[in-house]
Structure 1
Amino acid sequence: MSAPWNSAVQGLWARVSGGAPPLRVDQLEGVRRFAVHAEGGVLAVAASDALSACVAVHRYLTEACGVRVTWGTELPLDLGELPDSPVLTGRARVEEFYYLNFCTFGYSTAYWDWDEWEREIDWMALHGVTMPLSLVGHEAVLTLAYTRLGLSDREIRAFLGGPGYLPWLYMGCLDSFAGPLPATWAARHLDLGRRILERQRELGMTPVLPAFTGHVPASLAPAGARTREWQGLPTTVVHPGEPLFRRLTTEIVTAQRELLGTDHLYAADPFIEMIPADTDDDAGYPAEVAAAIVGGLRAADPAATWVLQSWPFSYQAHYWSRERVDRFLAGLPGDAVLILDLWGEADPQWARLDGYAGRRWIWNGLLNFGGRSEPVADLRSAAGNLEQALAAGRPPAGLGLTMEAIHTNPAFFELIADRAWAGEPPVLGDWLREFGRQRYATTSATAARAWAKLGESVLAAHARAIFPERFISILVTRPRYDAEPDVRAALFYRPPDLLDACRALLDLDLPGPAEDDLVLSCAALLVRIIDFRYAALVAAASTGHLDPAAGARFLDAFDDLDDLVATRPALRLDTWVAGARRWADDAESRWVLEDNARRILTAWTTTDDPRLDDYAARIWGGLVAGYYKRRWESWLKFLPQALAPGGRAAAQAALDAELVRLTETFIAAGPPPTGPAGDARAAARRALDRYGDEFQAIERTIAT
C-alpha cells in the first residue's frame, strides 16, 4: 500500500543520496516498525510511519552500504549502485524519541539559518526522533502576547534581551540581559520557525513548543509578585493564584497556535535551577504553580500535555525530596504531564522517585554541558543505565537526547539512538568498532583500531560524571593562586591508549569526519599536556624555582593547540561569530549579536561575576590563544608576587582586575584575526611529534 507520507521520505532520500538511486515506499499497519531491502538497484522500504521509514533508510545505509550519517558526514552520499541486501527489519523499543534541550538553542543553534536546520532535521529523521523541542519563532509568540497586554515593541524587545540568551529567558532564568533584541529578529525567526515545524511535521514528528513559566516583565507584575535570582540575575514571577498567571499561560498558547500551530506538547520549567520556596510555609507553592500551568494550558488547548525537565530534581535534590516531588505533581490529571529524566547516564531520577509514580517519563542522555568540545564520555554507564531503565517495573515511554550542545562526541548520542530500536543490544566494543567504520565509510581495520582505543581511553570515564562544575582542565579554568586543581583526576585513562588512537586516525588518511576526530583526539592529548605542564610549573615554583623557560613551554602548548583546532571550521571562534553577524541589519544589532556570541563563551553574564566563567569550555581556534592563553600570561606575570611572603592576596587582586579588563576587551573586540585554516593532518602530525613522548611519559608521572 502506497504511503501518504511517501513524498516526505522521498525528499529526505534525495537530500541524503543525491536522488539518483530509486526508492519505493509502502505502508505497513501496526506498531512502529519497518522492513527494508535493495534489489536490482532499487531500495524498497515498507514502514508503519514516515519516521520508521527514515530509520529503515539509515539501517540499510549502515548495514548494507557501511556508511552512517553522523554529524559531519558529507551529503549527499556518493553511493553509486545500491548493493542488493536481504530484508532488514526493525521495531521501535519505545513509543517516543525526544531530542534537544532548551540550552541547545543558545549553545549550538542560536545563529542557524535554514541550511543548518534542514540538515539537522534530516539527522533527526534518520535516527527516529519523534519529539523534538522547537524554540525558533517563540520570540514572535511572546511579542504578540505581550502586545495584546499593552506593551510597546521597544519594551518587549528590551525584556527579551539578547538573541543569544533567549533560551534562558524562556526558562525564566533571566530577562532584559545583553540586548535589546534586534528589530527584525522576531519576524525573520518566525519565518524560520514555521519552516522548521513544517518539515518536522511532514516527517511525522510531534514538536514540543515552549510555554509560560510564571516569569513576566516587571512592568506587568501585580503587587506582591516575587523576585527571584538565577546566577545573580533577578527576574519577576507572578503568583499562580493571580489571574494574570493563567491569563498569560493561555495568551501565549493562543498566540502560538495562531502563528505556529500546535502538536499539544508544551515545555515549561518554572524552577529550573531555582528553589521554589524559601520556607516550609510555602510548601504548597510548587503544586500551585503546576496546577496553574496545566490549567492555563488546557484552557487554551484541552489536549495539552506539559513537558517538564527533571533537572531540578537532580540539580537541587536536597530540596526536591520524593515527598516534595509527589506533592508537586499530585494534583495534576494523569495524562497532563510528561517528565524528561534529563541526565540518565549519570544521575537518573526515576529510581529515586519510583518511576515518577506512574507518570509518563522519558530516559535521556545529556553528557554535553555548554558545548565542551573535548571528546570525553562514559559509554558503558550510559548503555547500562539505559537498559536498566527499560527493564524497570515502570519503564520509560521513550528515550531521548538532551545535550546542552550538539555536534560534539557523536558516538555517545548515536549509541543511544541505536538503542531505541528492537534487537539484542550488541557488545559495546563491537558496536564502537563498527561505528568507526560506518562513520568513515571504510572497511579499514585501522578505523576499528582507532575506535577501540578511543573506547578504552576518552570514552571510558568509568562512572565519572562529565560535568562542568567539576574540574575540566587548566585551559578553561579562571587562573588563581590559592589552589592547585587535581589534574590527575581529569586523566581517567592510560595516555598510551589515546596516543594509539591518535596515531591510528592519522594513519587513516581520510577527509571529513575522520579529520574532525583526529583533531579533537589530538586536542584532548594537548589539553592534558597543558594540565601537567602547569602542575610541574607550580610544583617547581612552590620550592622557589621559578623557571621562565618552563612558563614559556606552558604557554607554547596553547599556541600549538590553537593551530590544531583552527584547521576545522566548526572549531573556530570566527565561524561562530560570523554566524551571529549574518543576522545583523544595522550597527546596533551587529554589536548585540557579536557581544552575545563572545560573552556566552567567556564571562557568560557580566565580567565582574565569575560564577559562570568558561562554562562552555570550548577548545576553539581564536579562543585558546586569543583568550585562555592571555589569562595565563597574566597569571605568570603576577606569579613572582604571589610567591613572595605575604604577597598572594595582592597578586590575586591585581590578577582579578586584569582578567576583568581582558574579558571586557575580548567581548567587545574579539581576538586578533585567526589565520586561514591549515592542514588538519599536518597539524596533528606536528602535535604528535612534539608531544607524543611527553604525553606517554605522564603515565610514569602518575605512577610515581
Structure 2
Amino acid sequence: MAELFNVAKGKKVNALGSNTAAITDGITEAGVHWDGGAAPAQAIVDLGGFYRITAATLTTYYGDGRAYQFALYAGVRSSGMTLLYEQKTDEEATAEGYKMTFSAVVARYVKVVMLHNTANPSVHIADLAVYGEECPEYKEEAETAPKADPEDLAYGKPTRANVNDAFSFLVTDGDPESCWLGELYPRFVDVDLLDNYQLSRVVLTAPAFAGFDYSLYLSADGVNFEKAGSLTTTEKKTEAELALEGKTARVLRVLCTGTTQGANGASALCQVKAYGKKAGGEVLPTRKIIEMTTYEEWLRERENVDLSKLKDAKGQYNIQDTYTPADTVRALEGLIGRILGQMYVDWFVFRIDRSMRKNSYELSETENEKILIHADCGVSAATALNFYLKYYCKVQVTQQTKQVCMPEKAPHIAEKVCNSSPYEVRYAYNYCTLSYTMPFFGYDKWQRELDFLMLSGVNLILDLTGMEAVWVSYLQKLGYTADQAKDYVCGYCYKAWWLMGNLEGYGGPVADAWVLDTMEMARVNQRYMTVMGAQPALETFVGAMPESFGTLANAHLKEKGFSDVRPYMAPQGLWAGGFVRPNVLKTSYDGYSYLAKLFYDTQNQVYGQVSDYYCGDVCHEGGIVPADLSKPQMSAKILNELLVADPRAVWILQGWWSNPMKEVLDGFGALKQEHILILDLAALANPKWTNTKTWEGVEFGSTPWIFCILDNYGGRTGMHGKLKKMVELMDNARRKGKVLKGIGITPEGTNGNPVVFDLFWEMAWRTSPPDMDFWLREYAQRRYGLADQASFEAWKLFEKTVYGVESYDGTTKNNVINENASLEMGYCTGGYYKIGYDRELFERGVKTFMEDYEALKHSEGGIYDTVDLLRMTLTIACDDYFEVLKRARALGDRTTFRKYSEKFLSAMKLVSELSTYNEDELLGNWIGRGVDFTEDERTGHYAGFDLDMMAYNAKILLTVWASAPITNYANRQFDGLMDDYFLEMWSRLFKRVNKALKDKTEAPAKLGKECFTVGWAFTKPGKTYRRNAANPEGDGADRGLLAVYRDVKKHMGNREELQSLVKKQDAALKKKKLKEEKAALSSTIATNLEH
C-alpha cells in the first residue's frame, strides 16, 4: 500500500467566514484559523482528484479549555456525501487536534460541519488534514438523473469565478441547495453557454442566509461584457428573474455587488438558469492569452533604436546608449512648452555634458543674452530651469497649480550660478501613492506629474504603471490562461497592496485593454524619465505568488524538471484583518532561480533595462517568514538572483514597522554597501536611522539609506507641515549620516500641501536651511504673482500654526466630519483629531490672507489656498462643535444639541461647497478619470463591465475601503463624497439623537454598523457628479468664493465661547455622575436592609 499523506493540504475550500484558506494551509497554530461565524457552519474541501481516505485530523482554536462538536462527511460529488465521523461530546480542543479514523472511502470532496463551541457562538478551524492515497483506478460515473429543468440553457455548462473557481461549477449543477461562495465582494461567476443564444430571461437563486445584490453582464467573446440589468434577493425571496428581451450572448457574468451580511460578508450564488433559443451566427472564440509586444520591438519602432546592436554577450546594455544629449535637449524644450508656452523655448540654451560632476548645473547667459543651462543630465538641467523660474522670474509650478506670469523678457543673471546636490538619490513615492493619488492617471496627468518631478530634481521614481502586464505575461508563461492570471491582479485602485504582498485579486479583474494600455503608457513615461536622466524603481522578485500557483503552475515546473512546488508555497496569513495575503515561495525550492530569472526577463520585456533600482519587501506589515527558512539565507538568495539579472542592481527596502528585519540585512553581508538602499519611510515623524538597538548601530547598521517624509496617510484632505523642523532634521541627517544616499517623499497620498514639497525639494540642492522669513516671502510672491505684504504676514502666522506644529503621527489630523458618525465620549478618531496649535492665531492668518483676496483670486495658487484655508477653518470648528455635542447628548440637553448639530451640518455643507472650486477635489473627477483614460485616442476598447469596476474601485476606496472594511482610512473632502456619504451619516445620527432627546428616551451614541451600510450604498451606480470646477466669481447656481467666505466667518471667532461651554458641561457631567453614584449606593443599601 502506498504511504498515506495529507491529501487536503493546499486544496480549495468553499465556506463562509474569514480566512477560508487557513483550513487547508497545513498550519495548526490556533491564531491562524478560519472563523466560520455562528454555528452551525460548514466548509467543503475539493481534493482536486479521487483519493481513498481513511483518517483525518481537525485542529480548532485551542488553549482555553474550550471544546467543539462537529461532523465529517466525504463523497465523490459535492452533494450527497456520506457521514464518516461525529464528535458529539465536549472533548477539550488541543494542539494535537481531534483525530479521526474510519473505514476507507473514495472521495473527491470532504465536508466538515461545525456544530458547537463551548466558549462562544462562533466556530473555528485552524487546519483540516485528511489522510489517504491517490485512487487512479476510480472512474467517475456519469449522472443518470434527468435535469430538473430541461429548458435551462446553463445547466451543466462550463463556469469560472475570479475567486474560489474550483467550486464555481455549483451554480450550474441543477442543485438549488449547492452554493458557490467567494470571500468578500464584489466577485463574479461566468457561465459559458458554448453557443450564441437569444436570451429571454435569466433566473438567479441565492442562499437564504442573507440578501444579495447582483449585476448581470452578457458577452459574445468572454472578454467584453455589457450590463444587462440588476437583480436582488432576500432571505425570504431567494430567487430573482431578469427579462432580457432577446439579447444575444454566449457568456453570462453574474457579479455579486452587495449583501445584507454587511462588512466582511461573502459573495454567494446557488444557481444560474438561462432561457432562450439559439441565435446562430459565428461563435467567437474565447481568447486564452493576451499577446504583448516586447520593449525591444517597441523601442525599434518608436525610437528607431536597435537594442541587438547594444547588448553584450549576456544580453545586458546601458540604457544611456539609446539616446543622445540632443534627445535630452528636445525633452527639456518640450517641458518648457508644456509648462510655460512654446514662445519661451527660445529664452534658453541647454548644454548636456555627461562628463560634468554628477547632479550639478551652471546657470549663466550667452553672448546674445539667452539663459544658458549647463548640466550633467536632463534632471539637473530641469532643476536649474526651476531655480531660474522661482528666483528670477518669480513664478511657481507645483503638482496642483502653476503661476507662470512671465516677465516681458528674460531677467539677467548677473553672476554665474553653480550648484550641485549633496544627494545621489532624490526619490519619489510610496507604494500607496500609486493607489491613493494616481490609479487612473492617463497620459496627460502623468506628463504633468513627471514635469513637476523633473523641475524638482527627482531622479528616482517608484513607477509600477504597467505591472499588470508583467504579471499576466509571467503567469501565462507558467501555464496560466489570461483570465487565471488576471484573477491574481488586483483592481484598478488596489495595486499598491497587491504589489506589497498584502492581498490579491480584490477589486478585479482589470480589462485586457488596461493591461496593454498601461504597459504602453509606462513605456512612454519611462522613456521620458530615461532621456532626462531619471530612473523608475521597478519590482524585486521576493517570491510572492498567487494562491493558485501550486495548482496552476505545477505541471509546467515539473516539465522543466523541478520538484512539486506545492510544499514550498508558504501561507502568509491575513492582512488588515480581512484579506488573505498571497503565498510566498520558499527560496529553498529547487526551481526558485528559474522562476526569478523568468520574472526579471519578463519585466525587461515589458519595460526594458531602464533601471538599476528594484523595490520589494519581505513580509510587509506582518507577513510570515516560514519557520523552516533561514532569514539571512532567504534574503541572500533574493539579492543574488536580482544581481544575476542586473549586476548593477540596488534593492530598495522600506523602513516600516519591523522591516527591514536585522536577520534579513545580515544575509546581505558586504553586498549591502553597493546593492541595498533603505527608505526611512517616516524619518520626519518617526525616524529609524537613529535607532541604535534594532540593527546594532545607527543608520540601519551602516546600511545605505535615504531620509523620507511621510506626511499623509490615505490621501486624506487637510493642511499640515512642520517647515522649520523638516529642514532642521534634513540638515542634521545630511551632516551626521555617514551612509546617507539621499532624500525622498513617501506620502501615501500626494496632491496636497504644496508648500511642504516646494521647500523639501529645494533642500535637495542646499547644504543649509534657508532663512524662513525670506523663504516664505519669496514663496508668497511667486505663488500668487504679486509682492504682497498681507499674504506674507498671513504665511508667517501659518508657519507658526498649521505649518509649524507637531501632529500626532506626522501627517494631517483626522477630521471628525470625515469619520463614522459617533458621539461616544471616548470616541476620538484614532486619537488625533485635535489640533496642536492656537486656533485663534490660525484664524487671524486666514482673515489676513483674505484681506487681499481680490488680488489673490487671479492666480491658481490663490484660489487653491483660499479653498484649503477655509475648509481647514471649518473642520477645526467642527472638532470644537463635536466636543459640545458629545456632552450635550450625555446630559440630555436638547436645546444645545440641536443648536450645535445644525452648526456642524452647516459647516459640512460649506466644506463640500468649497471643494467645488478645485477640480482635483471634485468627486466626479476622481471617478471620471477612469472614463477619461478609456476615451483617450491612445487607449483601446473598454466594455461596460470594465467601466463599472473602475467606478466601484474609485468609490469603495474612499469610503469603506473594501468589503473587509478599513473604513474612512482614505477619506477626502470631495464635494459629492461630503454630501452623499459623510453628511448622510451625521444627519442620520443627529436626527435620531434629537428625536430621542425630545421624547426623553435614551439617545443613540453612534450609527455603528449602519455606517458601513451607508458607505456601501454610496458605491452603487446611479448618480453622476460634476466634472467642472465652480467659478470663483460665481456663475449660475454656483456662488462666488467671497459669498462662501461670509458664511465661513459665522464659524470663526467662537473658540473661547465653546471652551467655556465645554467646561460648564464637564462640571454638569461630573455632578450627574456623582448623583447617579449616590443613587446607586442608596439602592444597594436599601436592598441590603430588606434582606
Of the three residues 318, 324, 337, the one matched with 1:14 is 337
Alignment-derived partner of residue 159 in structure 1: 488
Deviation sequence 1:113-165 (CA, Å, 0-9, x none): 11111111111111111111111111101111100001111111121131111
Question: Distance between the aligned counterparts of 1:210 and 1:386, measured in 2?
Answer: 28
Q: CA deviation at 1:68?
A: 2.1
Of the three residues 560, 582, 592, the one matched with 2:949 is 592
Point out where structure 2 has 5 or more consecutive residues left out of the alignment: 1-323, 551-565, 935-941, 1034-1038, 1064-1091
SS at match of 1:669: coil
Alignment-derived partner of residue 900 in structure 2: 550
Question: Distance between the aligned counterparts of 2:821 and 2:748, measured in 1?
Answer: 25
User: Does residue 472 of the first structure (1) align with residue 814 of the second (2)?
Assistant: yes
User: Does residue 197 of the first structure (1) align with residue 526 of the second (2)?
Assistant: yes
Alignment-derived partner of residue 698 in structure 1: 1055
Question: Distance between the aligned counterparts of 1:173 and 1:225, measured in 2?
Answer: 16
User: Does residue 668 of the first structure (1) align with residue 1015 of the second (2)?
Assistant: no
Q: CA deviation at 1:272?
A: 2.2
Letter in 1 for 2:871: A
Letter in 2 for 1:180: P
SS at match of 2:512: coil
Question: Distance between the aligned counterparts of 2:838 and 2:409, measured in 1?
Answer: 43
Deviation sequence 1:573-628 (CA, Å, 0-9, x none): 1111000233451111011100000111111121xx44x21111211111111111
Task: State which drifts further: 635-644 or 448-457.
Answer: 635-644
SS at match of 2:619: coil
Q: Which has a greater percent of helix? A: 1
Q: Is the 8 A contact 2:704 2:740 kept in 1?
A: yes
Alignment-derived partner of residue 411 in structure 2: 83
Deviation sequence 1:628-655 (CA, Å, 0-9, x none): 111112222443698899967xx579x3
- Distance 1:447-1:37 versus aligned 2 partners, 3 A rule: farther
Letter in 2 for 1:456: K
User: Does residue 301 of the first structure (1) align with residue 301 of the second (2)?
Assistant: no
Q: Is the 8 A contact 1:197 1:207 kept in 2?
A: yes
User: Does residue 604 of the first structure (1) align with residue 951 of the second (2)?
Assistant: no
Task: State which drifts further: 441-450 or 259-268.
Answer: 441-450
Q: CA deviation at 1:57?
A: 0.8
* TM-score, scaled to structure 2: 0.60
| Larger relative contact order, structure 1 or 2 (CA cutoff 8 Å, min sep 6) | 1
Question: Distance between the aligned counterparts of 1:533 and 1:615, measured in 2?
Answer: 22
Alignment-derived partner of residue 657 in structure 2: 312
User: Does residue 37 of the first structure (1) align with residue 339 of the second (2)?
Assistant: no
User: Does residue 568 of the first structure (1) align with residue 918 of the second (2)?
Assistant: yes
- Distance 1:76-1:426 versus aligned 2 partners, 3 A rule: closer
Q: CA deviation at 1:185?
A: 0.7
Question: Distance between the aligned counterparts of 2:335 and 2:770, measured in 1?
Answer: 28
Deviation sequence 1:237-261 (CA, Å, 0-9, x none): 2222224544333222111111211
Alignment-derived partner of residue 537 in structure 1: 885
Of the three residues 201, 216, 229, the one matched with 2:574 is 229
Letter in 1 for 2:973: I
Of the three residues 674, 680, 683, the one matched with 1:341 is 680
Q: CA deviation at 1:172?
A: 0.7
Question: Distance between the aligned counterparts of 1:675 and 1:256, measured in 2?
Answer: 37
User: Does residue 173 of the first structure (1) align with residue 502 of the second (2)?
Assistant: yes
Alignment-derived partner of residue 210 in structure 2: none
- Distance 1:291-1:483 versus aligned 2 partners, 3 A rule: farther
- Distance 1:131-1:629 versus aligned 2 partners, 3 A rule: same
- Distance 1:37-1:485 versus aligned 2 partners, 3 A rule: farther
Q: Is the 8 A contact 1:6 1:25 kept in 2?
A: yes
Q: Is the 8 A contact 2:715 2:749 kept in 1?
A: yes
Question: Distance between the aligned counterparts of 1:670 and 1:17, measured in 2?
Answer: 40
Alignment-derived partner of residue 983 in structure 2: 629
- Distance 1:422-1:529 versus aligned 2 partners, 3 A rule: closer
* TM-score, scaled to structure 1: 0.91
Question: Distance between the aligned counterparts of 1:3 and 1:219, measured in 2?
Answer: 47
Q: Is the 8 A contact 1:67 1:439 kept in 2?
A: yes
Point out where structure 1 has 5 or more consecutive residues left out of the alignment: 315-319
Q: CA deviation at 1:377?
A: 1.6
Question: Distance between the aligned counterparts of 2:404 and 2:487, measured in 1?
Answer: 42
- Distance 1:126-1:432 versus aligned 2 partners, 3 A rule: same
Question: Distance between the aligned counterparts of 1:226 and 1:113, measured in 2?
Answer: 37
Question: Distance between the aligned counterparts of 1:308 and 1:476, measured in 2?
Answer: 33
Of the three residues 961, 973, 980, the one matched with 1:619 is 973
Q: CA deviation at 1:564?
A: 1.0
Q: Is the 8 A contact 2:808 2:832 kept in 1?
A: no
Of the three residues 527, 531, 542, the one matched with 2:875 is 527
Alignment-derived partner of residue 439 in structure 2: 110
Alignment-derived partner of residue 1010 in structure 2: 658
- Distance 1:666-1:436 versus aligned 2 partners, 3 A rule: same
Q: CA deviation at 1:478?
A: 1.4
1:433-512 → structure 2 map (5 Å cutoff): 433-462=777-806, 464-467=808-811, 472-485=814-827, 490-506=834-850, 507=852, 508-512=856-860
Deviation sequence 1:446-470 (CA, Å, 0-9, x none): 33223222212211123643347xx
Q: CA deviation at 1:175?
A: 0.4
Letter in 2 for 1:432: L
Question: Distance between the aligned counterparts of 2:739 and 2:636, measured in 1?
Answer: 25
SS at match of 1:623: helix
Q: Is the 8 A contact 2:468 2:489 kept in 1?
A: yes
Total equivalences in the alignment: 686
Q: CA deviation at 1:91?
A: 1.4
Letter in 1 for 2:643: R
- Distance 1:286-1:603 versus aligned 2 partners, 3 A rule: farther
Q: Is the 8 A contact 1:178 1:596 kept in 2?
A: yes
Of the three residues 51, 56, 66, the one matched with 2:384 is 56
Alignment-derived partner of residue 578 in structure 1: 928
- Distance 1:684-1:499 versus aligned 2 partners, 3 A rule: farther
Alignment-derived partner of residue 183 in structure 2: none
Pick the structure with greater CA Rg: 2
Alignment-derived partner of residue 317 in structure 1: none
Q: Percent identity?
A: 23
SS at match of 1:603: coil
Task: State which drifts further: 101-110 or 372-381.
Answer: 372-381
Deviation sequence 1:542-562 (CA, Å, 0-9, x none): 111123343233212211111
Question: Distance between the aligned counterparts of 1:546 and 1:116, measured in 2?
Answer: 50
SS at match of 1:9: helix
1:333-412 → structure 2 map (5 Å cutoff): 333-352=672-691, 353=695, 354-412=698-756
Deviation sequence 1:308-362 (CA, Å, 0-9, x none): 1112337xxxxx77x5565465485532211111111111111114112222211
Question: Distance between the aligned counterparts of 1:286 and 1:464, measured in 2?
Answer: 34
Question: Distance between the aligned counterparts of 1:64 and 1:582, measured in 2?
Answer: 37
Q: CA deviation at 1:684?
A: 4.2
Question: Distance between the aligned counterparts of 1:170 and 1:103, measured in 2?
Answer: 10
User: Does residue 241 of the first structure (1) align with residue 600 of the second (2)?
Assistant: no
Q: CA deviation at 1:485?
A: 3.9
Question: Distance between the aligned counterparts of 2:701 and 2:758, measured in 1?
Answer: 30
Q: Is the 8 A contact 2:823 2:885 kept in 1?
A: no
Q: Is the 8 A contact 1:26 1:45 kept in 2?
A: yes
SS at match of 1:181: coil
Alignment-derived partner of residue 257 in structure 1: 604
Letter in 2 for 1:7: R
Q: CA deviation at 1:76?
A: 6.7
SS at match of 1:451: helix
Task: State which drifts further: 66-75 or 448-457.
Answer: 66-75
- Distance 1:658-1:182 versus aligned 2 partners, 3 A rule: same
- Distance 1:37-1:445 versus aligned 2 partners, 3 A rule: farther
Question: Distance between the aligned counterparts of 2:704 and 2:974, measured in 1?
Answer: 40
